[in-house]
Amino acid sequence: MMTEFLGYEMASGKFWHSIEIIYGKGAVIDVNGKRKGGDNSFTLLDFAYDFVWYRLRPAGEQKFFWGFGVSIGNLEVKQKTNVVSGKYNEHKDEYFGFGPRFNTFYKFSQGKVLTGFDLCLTTTLPGLSSSIIKTESVYSDKSYLLWVKLKTEIYCYYRLSKIYTFKFLFKRENWVYGRKQPPHYELHDFFSGGAYLLNSFGLNLSYNF
């Protein structure tokens, strides 16, 4: 599935801020091992805010940077299945969480090339994330999601000019989640769960103000 990306980054002294919005939609879904298209759909909407404080030397040209920060994100995943003509089942998971982030990068070629590595661990608190199943005119149910995600990202910036920058990135996300009715931590209350791995590549062209 192809996704659309919109992001904004700002650096001010030791502080770095980033806002990202990712949207994707697919017209084919998997149901019981079979691929179905037509009126079926799969959509995702991902919003993330990241803040990092960098350790900077008092003076002189610095090529290696490292910093700690925090990541806050909300991911909405929705699947719509056409059961019979005009009747749909909808399943929507909303993942809201936050956690620590560690970032390093290195500048070379007189600052025209920058390579970096990010490590981020996010999770949720009881009651903040939910899973909703809705069947038209028949059944509707809401449960809670408890989850943890480990994200690693490797990227490379190349400065084309003072205005334009090209970025290539590889991102790997490991998710572990569970669904339960009461929003608290007791293992015997989970009725479903699992884990999945998401790998993605990105090519971005940035405009610098």
What domain count does the chain have? Answer: 1
Model confidence pLDDT, tens digit, residues 95-105:
999 999 999 98
Token look-up 């909703």 returns 132
Domain that holds residue 23: 3-207
| CA–CA gap between residue 5 and residue 204 (Å, rounded) | 9
Predicted structure pTM score: 0.80
Model confidence pLDDT, tens digit, residues 156-190:
989 888 888 888 999 999 999 888 877 666 666 67
Q: What residues contact 124, with CB distance under 8 A and at least 6 apart?
A: 95, 96, 97, 145, 146, 147
Calculate the average pLDDT of the chain: 83
Model confidence pLDDT, tens digit, residues 127-141:
889 888 777 656 677
CB-based contact 94:130 (threshold 8 Å): yes
Domain with 177 in it: what CATH number?
2.40.160
- In this prediction, residues 23-36 reach a mean pLDDT of 71
Tokens (6 digits) for 5: 């990306």
